[in-house]
Chains A and B, each alone.
Chain A
Amino acid sequence: MSIFKKIMTAIRGGASEAGEAIIDANATRIFEQEIRDAENHLTKAKRDLTGVMAEQMSAKREVDRLGREVTEHEGYVAQALEKGDETLALAVAEKIANLETTLADQQQAHDSFSGSADRLKDLVKKSERQVAEHKRQLSMVKTTESVQRATAAITDNFSSSNSKLLSAKDSLERIKAKQQKFDDRMKAAELLESEDSDSSLQAQLKAAGIGAQDKSANSVLERLKAKKK
């Protein structure tokens, strides 16, 4: 059974009781050990792969070098033949034959290393996918357990602090009321501010001698004098 199915069955079956493990702790430990083993194998496979790839590269270098040497000696044979020195040409040809044998051996070694490297690469990829998959499954188990334990902790906290869990509708009402109160306060503050700015504008106008001015003794006297005339 897949881990997903196991968790689903356990939750449906009412294993959601606080503290009751979805998958027994021992099984989880074994699973964790399996993942660690797989990771160790993976590390080893990667190390082997590095070794094989190094051998492959060195074989490739050797194949290239031998190839170059064969070509070089083929040139010598041509030159010896041009000079009519058959004996020397034969000696060089013998050397070429030896070089070609070594080249064939190296080529074979190189091909074999290449094959091994490809196989190891496939193996590493497959193992990596497998480890990732196991980790995902383990994460599902652990998260389920963690959420259950967290829920238990939350429930304990609520019952110990005697705080009553409100119904969703009541909570919403309260939150909305608080939001309304906040909005009202903001509006009132804005209103106050605009009134303040009104009165400050009046003061500025007055200072500039615009609009209604305060009655002063002088202005009263002027008015009375004018009346008398």
Chain B
Amino acid sequence: MNIHTIADHLNSLADNSDTGMSFDCQPISGEVDVLQISILGREELPIFVSVTEDQIICICYLWGLDEVKPESVNAMHESMLEMNIPMPLTSFSKIGDKYVVFGALSIKSNFIDVEHELAVLSNNAVEVIDDMSEYLL
């Protein structure tokens, strides 16, 4: 399992995905290969996938610290911690000054697991932005 096999699989699904979503994959080459996955209709919220020795990490960027109402930062952090377990397969994190949701899968996962993860992550991301927009400027 690497980003290229994942890309090949998702691109080959076309309209026949189990999740009803259409994926478009774009590898970004660099020191670590990253796969940028756009979901039809949700191009504004791409998911980035990188594969390490033991896991597949899928990350969706939510917003920057600069988009958060300064007086709401603590309340937002609390909500994120509280929602971490109820939210299926997805967790909150922060990379630099950007808040993200991510899912980590075992390297032994199959393509169906990866596809499911991406669909759930995307749904969660949209819902999180909708429901947490009260904390945003």
Contact A143–B31 (Cβ < 8 Å): no
**Cα A168 to Cα B28 with chains together (Å):** 22
A65 within 8 Å of B (CB atoms): no
Flag B25-42 by CB within 8 Å of A: 1 or 0 each: 000111110101000011
Q: In the complex, what's the smallest C-beta–C-beta distance from B13 to chain A, in angstroms?
A: 19
**Cα A170 to Cα B67 with chains together (Å):** 11
Flag A138-170 by CB within 8 Å of B: 1 or 0 each: 010011001111111110110000000111111
**Cα A152 to Cα B32 with chains together (Å):** 9
Considering only residues 180-224 of chain A, those with a C-beta below 8 Å from chain B are 182
Contact A153–B34 (Cβ < 8 Å): yes
Once A143-B52, A153-B28 are accepted as A-B contacts, the answer to whether A16 and B67 lie under 8 Å apart by CB is no
A151 partner, pick from B62, B96, B126, beta carbons under 8 A:
B96
Closest to B98 in A: A151
The A interface is mostly helix, strand or loop, or mixed, namely helix
Contact B50–A146 (Cβ < 8 Å): yes
Once A143-B57, A175-B44, A175-B126 are accepted as A-B contacts, the answer to whether A149 and B31 lie under 8 Å apart by CB is yes
Contact B57–A147 (Cβ < 8 Å): yes
Q: In the complex, what's the smallest C-beta–C-beta distance from B17 to chain A, in angstroms?
A: 16
A169 partner, pick from B34, B54, B57, B133, beta carbons under 8 A:
B133
B80 within 8 Å of A (CB atoms): no
Flag A111-151 by CB within 8 Å of B: 1 or 0 each: 00000000000000000000000000001001100111111
- Which 3 interchain pairs have the tightest Cβ spacing? A153-B30, A171-B44, A168-B63
Sample of 14 A–B contacts (CB below 8 Å) = A16-B95, A143-B52, A146-B32, A147-B95, A150-B30, A152-B30, A153-B34, A156-B30, A168-B63, A168-B133, A171-B45, A172-B126, A172-B130, A172-B133
Given contacts A152-B31, A157-B28, A178-B42, 8 further A-B contacts (CB under 8 A): A139-B55, A150-B48, A153-B34, A166-B44, A167-B63, A169-B133, A170-B44, A172-B130
Please list the residues of chain A having a beta carbon within 8 angstroms of any beta carbon in chain B.
16, 19, 139, 142-143, 146-154, 156-157, 165-172, 174-175, 178-179, 182
